Amino acid sequence: MRPGVIIFRRIRSNPLALAGSISVIMLALMALFAPLISPYSPTTIDIDNILSPPGGGHVFGTDDLGRDVLARMLYGSRVSLSVGLVAVGIAVLIGISIGSLAGYFGGRTDAVLMRFVDIMLTFPTLFLILAVIAVVGPGIYTIMVVIGVTGWMDVARLVRAEFLSLKERDFVLAARASGAGHIRIIFRHVLPNALSPVFVAATFGVAGAILVESGLSFLGLGIQPPRPSWGNILTTGKDYIEVAWWLSLFPGLAILLTSLSYNLLGEGLRDALDPRLWEEDINQDT
């Protein structure tokens, strides 16, 4: 049976993982088609409908400038999801590169690279992000890069551990005996078999990156108005919490549900990619 079929069956049989998968897909579709779904422009100011409660023509109400909260939420999802995916992509790329070299070559290369990983782990990630943003300045591309270059260490350690286990397997020894070079062995034989924990870590990482971006935007160090993000909508909501509860409730729920969905999907992938459970499925089919 193909591995993809086994993974799909295991996720489908796990209600929480299935719910997380469906939620992630729906969030991605809403972000992708936000211009078509949104009833208004996220930056259109309407002074006649300032702080209007949910209902009528504004399903989620309006903010302090009369802008439609639903429209800003939809466009904000594009920011949050793009930051999460790009930041995790950068982190995975760096982590795989360093982890592969450390695990495959071992010895002095491993010692030097892993000491660098240990040094990076000693820095408080949030304060390091704040320091970089204070120097470079806030912006969506800055946020993506900063989160990515400060979040690769766990991926590197996972990949290194997988390489240490896999590089002594028979199929790798056979590749060496046949004259394959280091690059071919790493990318053709070892790395494809070491990616399962990386996929799981990346899924969890997207949820973490979205939380970091929302927190930075809430503090005014992330996405800057008038460009909407869930974090800066919350910033407006805190100033009107007593008279406009919807400004805090809806973006807060969006952040919660998005993070929960990715975490549930990550948990499902961790179980689905467990080779010990694959053997059970294969034995059942045979």
Question: pLDDT tens digits, residue range 79-107?
Answer: 888 998 999 999 999 999 999 999 999 88
Compute the distance between CA of residue 145 and CA of residue 22 in angstroms, rounded to an integer.
28
The pLDDT value recorded for residue 280 is 54
State CA 84 to chain mean position distance: 4
How far from 22 is each of 4, 19, 149, 260, CA to CA, in Å?
Answer: 17, 5, 29, 12
Residue 139 is predicted with a pLDDT of 81
pLDDT in tens, 48-74: 888 889 987 889 999 988 899 999 999
Most confident of 5-9, 30-34, 268-272: 30-34
The domain in which residue 36 lies consists of: 3-285
- Does residue 283 surpass a pLDDT of 60? no
Q: What pLDDT digit, counting tens, does each position of 154-211 carry?
A: 999 999 999 988 888 888 888 888 888 888 888 888 888 888 889 888 999 998 888 8
Give 148's contacts (C-beta < 8 A, 6+ positions apart). 86, 87, 88, 89, 90, 91, 94
> Does residue 1 surpass a pLDDT of 60?
no
| The pLDDT of residue 14 | 84
pLDDT band at 135; cut points 50, 70, 90: confident
Confidence at residue 96, expressed as pLDDT on a 0 to 100 scale: 93
Question: With bands split at pLDDT 50, 70 and 90, how would you rate the model's confidence at 124?
Answer: confident
Which CATH number fits the domain that encloses residue 154?
1.10.3720.10
- 272 phi, psi to nearest 5 deg: -70, -30
Residue 251 and residue 76 in contact, taking contact as beta carbons nearer than 8 Å: yes
Angle in degrees, 0-180, between the axes of helices 69-105 and 153-166, rounded to the nearest 10 = 40
Closest to 222 in 3D by CA, of 77, 73, 230: 230
Q: What is residue 106's predicted lDDT score, i.e. its pLDDT?
A: 86
Mean pLDDT of the chain: 86
The number of folded domains in the chain is 1
The pLDDT value recorded for residue 55 is 84
- How is residue 123 annotated by DSSP? S
Neighbours of 121 (CB within 10 A): 11
Q: What is the model's pLDDT at position 275?
A: 62
